[in-house]
Amino acid sequence: MITANATLKPLSPMIGKWTWIGRHPYLPGRMFRGHASFEWIEGGAFLVMRTSGEDPIPAGVAIFGTDDADTRAYMLYFDERGVSRKYDVEIHEHGLTWSRDAPDLSQRVRITISREGRTMEGRGEMSKDRGPWEKDLDVDYERVS
């Protein structure tokens, strides 16, 4: 029998269904809406995030897991465009941060869960071609269930 992954346990407040509203600096004045869900799979060994949204925000899936050899967490992401990425994950007191460092596009997103657990705030940044960091997609989540 598989036991729950203790390293991922602090992400338990994310479990459930959420609606979200997002903004992207490349599309000023536009608001995007969508849904997200977070659930344990394989008895809590992994956390899965599923997202869907209005065009141009792609539907995607991410699996969070850990490597006990280096005590780090990771996220594997795949979306409807065929984009596949690996992110490093840092779990903090009120959420997590995922990031990747790549020559063409580096990204980092910090998700903060509110104290009451009804909302989350996601703030993204990106760096293209090793240039300066700039704003990326920002997402505000509200719990549905």
pTM reported for the whole predicted model? 0.94
Tokens 């790549």 map to which residue? 102
Q: Give the amino acid at 45.
A: A
Token pair listed for 43: 């008895």
Token pair listed for 137: 């997609």
- Each of the 145 residues of the chain gets a pLDDT tens digit; together they read 788 999 999 999 999 999 999 999 999 999 999 999 999 999 999 999 999 998 889 999 999 999 988 889 999 999 999 999 999 999 999 999 999 999 999 999 999 999 999 999 999 999 999 999 999 999 999 999 9
